Structure 1
Amino acid sequence: MKSAKDYLEHANAEVVRITTEEAIAKHAAGDATFVDVRDSGDIAKSGTIAGAHRVPRGFIEFAADPDMQFHNPIFQKDAELCLVCGAGGQAALAGKTLKDMGYKNVINVGGIGDWKAAGGPTEA
């Protein structure tokens, strides 16, 4: 039987995590798609990365599957997808799901608190 820790370890082993500074540089370059995987209530409390798309972790499979009626066109197999959450755990788990679905360039940028502390651009 797997524990939450087991799932996180597997996700962290497969999904590259970059520093907040590296993530801010990627954001500034404008060549990556940023996705906040927290639910709307958490985003409302803290805000999110400027321009980030909002796709809750519990909906990621539906939004990322091009054969689903709920497919979100931001999910392209060759896109660089940078995921953020509260502390990095949900981003890792969502990233592992995306990798399992055939997305190759998935990055965990960690938590919104670190982003804000480092001066990354945000929006309400």
Structure 2
Amino acid sequence: MTIRNTMGWVDSLRDRVPTMDAAGLQARRDQGEALTVIDLRELQERLDKGAIPESHHVPRGMLEFWADPAMGYHRDFFTEDAEYVVYCAGGGRSVLAALAMIEMGYTKVWHLDEGFAGWTKADLPVEDAAATARWQRKR
């Protein structure tokens, strides 16, 4: 059996997921739109590199559990009528996450094209997530 190429598979799914770029996200936020931004990266990525300001950290492995109101893990920022932008480091995990949310029944979900790398490349604000985190890397 040949192992599937993950990025090839993700690329084949991109047309099934609405996409927003960093400038579009910032413009919508500047206009006062209430978008819930979800950071799917691992905690250490968030602490080491920072985060999009006011984003919620939801590790990719917990997304479906935290987004399901019937689960004991549910987080209250997941609501049926909210609008979501999910992001990861480069835009791969966010495609899978957005597709999962859509399949769960969420209707207003975008993935952030180019992920956090695109956000920083656009020179947009970055929150120092490590400054307020209770978890730190031991050096």
Normalising by structure 2, we get a TM-score of 0.81
> Within the alignment, does 1:23 sit opposite 2:25 as a pair?
yes
1:120 to 118, 124, 134: 124
> Within the alignment, does 1:82 sit opposite 2:78 as a pair?
no
Could you give the per-residue CA deviations for residues 79-122 of structure 1, whole angstroms, max 9, x where no partner exists?
11001110011111111110110011110113112112212222
Distance 1:50 1:30 in 2: 15
In structure 2, the CA distance between the partners of 1:14 and 1:77, relative to structure 1 (3 Å rule), is farther
In structure 2, the CA distance between the partners of 1:115 and 1:5, relative to structure 1 (3 Å rule), is closer
> Within the alignment, does 1:94 sit opposite 2:118 as a pair?
no
**Correspondence for 2:48:** 45
Other structure's SS at 2:73 match? coil
**Correspondence for 1:63:** 66
Other structure's SS at 1:69 match? coil
Please identify the structure whose Cα radius of gyration is greater.
2
Equivalent residue letter for 2:29: H
Identity fraction in percent: 30
In structure 2, the CA distance between the partners of 1:60 and 1:45, relative to structure 1 (3 Å rule), is same
Normalising by structure 1, we get a TM-score of 0.90
Instruction: Extract structure 1 runs of 4+ deviating beyond 4 A.
Output: none
How much has 1:2 moved relative to structure 2? Answer: 8.0
Gap runs ≥5 in structure 2: 129-139
Other structure's SS at 1:24 match? helix
How much has 1:12 moved relative to structure 2? Answer: 1.1
Equivalent residue letter for 1:102: G
How much has 1:6 moved relative to structure 2? Answer: 5.5
User: How many residues are matched?
Assistant: 124
Q: Over aligned residues, Cα RMSD in angstroms?
A: 1.7
Equivalent residue letter for 2:10: L
2:7, 2:92 within 8 Å by CA — same for their partners in 1? no
Equivalent residue letter for 1:99: I
Gap runs ≥5 in structure 1: none
